[in-house]
Amino acid sequence: MNKGTLYIVATPIGNLEDMTFRAVRILREVDLIAAEDTRHSRKLLTHFGITNSLTSYFDHNKQVKGGLILEKLCQGLSVALVSDAGTPCISDPGFQLVRDAVKMEIPVVPVPGACAAVAALSASGLPTDSYAFEGFLPSRKGKRREKISSLCEEKRVLVFYESPNRLCDTLTDILELLGDRTIVVAREITKLYEEFLRGPVSEVLHGIEGKMVRGEIVLMILPSEKAAAAGTGEIEGLLEKYLCSEGISLKDAVRRVTQESGQSKSRVYEAALQIKNK
């Protein structure tokens, strides 16, 4: 018996017009839809006239429901996985189900669409050729501060999801631990009250203190000038080694340095050209 297909279906993060034609078609055609919150997803499905069978799949029942879903897939049935909003498995339930499906050689097909982190980055005005997505910061203060401190030397733009209730506390921790860096706070993306707050941490924090912050938050942080400078020095040193000392090709040098430094390929290539043209 042929195995069914597991579809990873992205859904809107606020604006229903962001639902793709393909996502609607897949949700109508599958035998079962596994949703993080069936009540939330039923509203979406009703809006698009989708009446397929619906079951829950979330963090606290993923062990049991995951097994049942895999059984159906092995029986040849098709299943679509959706989260409350955006792309499943991106700081949402689903990783374990996909991992197990892959191990069992069940076809897994992404149906792309909205993702809050990527949408926020695209309109942030920050460099987007290299970034580090860290998902949600820990809710407990001690763990949160520990995590933020561990990222102080990160050379890429940092991207987090954050609760509006913790935003002021998180920004205060960032100011104390990372300094007054440039940040962008994206709120209510694609919704009626969409807002982007840009500037130094202190300025953004001052602007929201005492106010009721609502909606889902994407927080983006520029690396420190010191970390960025260190990154430049590391790139140049490695390129000098490979291009000048070892005499390997420009293409191979760029590939190696990109892998070793964690910097973007475009940044490494630009530095390599400058060294070659000296």
pLDDT digits (tens, 9 = 90+) for 124-144: 999 888 899 999 999 999 999
Provide the mean pLDDT of the chain.
90
**0.85 exceeded by pTM:** no
Taking the domains of the chain in order of start, what are their residue ranges? 6-114, 117-223, 226-276
The separation between CA 91 and the C-alpha centre of its own chain, rounded to angstroms, equals 7
pLDDT value of position 233: 66
35 Rama class: left (phi>0) / alpha (psi -120 to 50) / beta: beta
pLDDT digits (tens, 9 = 90+) for 221-265: 999 875 555 456 677 778 878 877 677 888 888 888 776 665 666
Confidence band of 211 (pLDDT split at 50, 70, 90): confident
d(CA 87, CA 235): 34
pLDDT over 80 at 54, yes or no = yes
CA 179-182-186 angle, to 5 degrees, is 120
Three-class secondary structure of residue 90 per DSSP: coil
Q: Where are the beta strands (DSSP E) in the chain?
A: 6-9, 32-35, 54-56, 79-82, 108-111, 131-136, 157-162, 182-187, 195-200, 217-221
- What are the φ/ψ torsions at residue 128 (nearest 5 degrees)? -120, 10
pLDDT value of position 262: 56
CATH of 6-114, picked from 3.40.47.10, 3.20.20.60, 3.40.1010.10, 2.60.40.10, is 3.40.1010.10
Average confidence (pLDDT) over 146-157: 92
In this prediction, what percent of the chain has a pLDDT beyond 90? 71
pLDDT digits (tens, 9 = 90+) for 77-103: 999 999 999 999 998 889 999 999 999
pLDDT digits (tens, 9 = 90+) for 107-118: 999 999 999 999
Domains 6-114 and 117-223 share a fold: no
> What would be the CATH architecture of the domain defined by 117-223?
2-Layer Sandwich (3.30)
